[in-house]
Amino acid sequence: MATAALLWVLLSALQEAPTHTVTFRLKAPEAKVVEVVPWGVQYRMANGLADRRVLMVKGADGTWTVTVSGAQPGFHYYFLNVDGAEMSDPASPPYFGWGQWTSGVEIPEPGADWYDEKDVPHGHVRHLTLREKTTGKPQRLVVYTPPGYDRGGRYPVLYLQHGRGESELGWTVQGRANLILDNLSAEKKPRPMIVVMANGQTFADNDPGRAVAEFPAFLIQQVIPFVEREFRTLSGPKNRAVAGLSMGGWQALEPGLPRPDLFAWVGAMSGGSLGNPERDYSGALRDPQRLNRGLRLLYLSQGRQDSTRDRATQLREHLAKIGVKSVYFECEGFHEWQTWRKALRDFAPRLFRE
């Protein structure tokens, strides 16, 4: 997987593709060593950084700087290391990723304005808590209500999950899901929908294995009833979708495939795989007819340089072999937010159609 990405970075360099430079700066007059540290292999590659750490150079005024080139469009996490202290960059807004608050840099994609904050009607992004029943602890959710929601009516709901190490904030803050939907709405493409982004880890004590195993029950028994009490929703499987990215893709397929009585629209972006077709997804793949009858859409997507590409391809090929209908979307991109932004833009207008 890493090989594909590495090759692509090399090819880009050979083809002299447009490159993007990022200059990092930190005032630390007494420090001995200051480094920029990109999070994760894929991020380092998307950053145009081959190595784990990039040394900054100290100027006469005590300011350390470094400029890196070859950064790919999208959102890239990093932190700074000052004499062994790992710290957020004071020049970056805080982002929750990699299990902590850290720094990030947004590299614009030339010509792409579909995820910008434009002068169009905007939905509202609501920050809520739901009291988890077994622990009694508050669990955070972000809920997007579409433009016009407060004027009345009932709406279908997309349950949309973030990836491992991120939080309920990922899809709106890093992913700009609200802006993508606002811009799509201005072109009248999608059905107006509520989007519910639950924290997919904290209810399971941030254990990713438990998060995938226990998410279906948490979603079905707690999140959905809460949302249907708090918001004016349309009911029934035709009005309910579940999707997610990376770990969140599993968290979407796990409840989505076995429960067509609850969800008619299911999507996994750079997530989901095939282990044991008899047992995976509660055995839902044993009955292709039931899946085809129940699902209006089974959607899989990934980036061409995506680290999960092999696994998703294996699942897709198995679905084709057993005759389960699915829609596949592929775009240029790493295992990174630009890929998932593109997927959401493609996915959302397909939902809740007759």
Question: Binding residues for its own copies, per CB under 8 A?
Answer: 26-34, 62, 80, 82-88, 90, 93-94, 100-101, 117, 119, 122, 124-129, 131, 136, 138, 143, 150, 230-232
Give the residue with the Cβ less far from its own copies, 103 or 301: 103
- C-alpha torsion sign, points 184, 190, 194, 196: negative
What are the angstrom distances between the C-alpha of 135 and each of 8, 202, 205?
Answer: 46, 11, 10
Q: Which helix (H) or strand (E) holds 245?
A: strand 240-245
CA dist., res. 63 & res. 127, Å (int): 38
- Minimum distance, C-beta of residue 118 to its own copies, in the bound complex (Å): 9
Nearer to its own copies, 32 or 293 (CB): 32
Beta bridge partners of residue 36, listed in sequence order? 54, 80
**Residue 245: closest CA among 181, 314, 301:** 301
Q: Which is nearer to its own copies, 69 or 100 (CB)?
A: 100
Minimum separation from the CB atom of position 337 to its own copies (A): 19
29 vs 283 by CB, closer to its own copies:
29
- CA neighbor of 352 nearest in space, from 245, 227, 237: 237
Gyration radius of the chain over CA positions: 21
Q: Which residue, 14 or 85, is less far from its own copies as judged by CB? A: 85
- Least Å from the CB of residue 261 to its own copies: 26
Instruction: Output the smallest distance, CB 99 to its own copies, in A.
Output: 11
**Minimum distance, C-beta of residue 86 to its own copies, in the bound complex (Å):** 6
* Residue 259 CB-half CA count within 13 A: 17
Q: What are phi and psi of 45, to 5 degrees?
A: -70, -45
Nearest approach, Cβ of 30 to its own copies (angstroms)?
A: 4
Q: How far is the CB of 230 from its own copies (least distance, A)?
A: 6
CA distance 245 to 171: 10
- Of 126 and 304, nearer to its own copies (C-beta) is 126
For residue 228, the 8-state DSSP code is H
Collapsing DSSP states into helix, strand and coil, what is residue 242?
strand
Please state the closest distance from residue 193 (CB atom) to its own copies, in A.
16
- For the bound state, the minimum distance from the C-beta of residue 37 to its own copies, rounded and expressed in Å, comes to 13
Distance (Å, rounded) from C-alpha 286 to C-alpha 277? 7
Residue with smaller CB distance to its own copies, 18 or 152: 152
What does the alpha-carbon distance between residue 195 and residue 26 come to, in Å, rounded to a whole number? 38
CA 314 to chain centre: 21
Nearer to its own copies, 6 or 128 (CB): 128
The 3-state DSSP class for residue 183 equals helix
- What is the token pair recorded at 288? 């292709």
Our CB check for its own copies shows the closer of 83 and 310 to be: 83
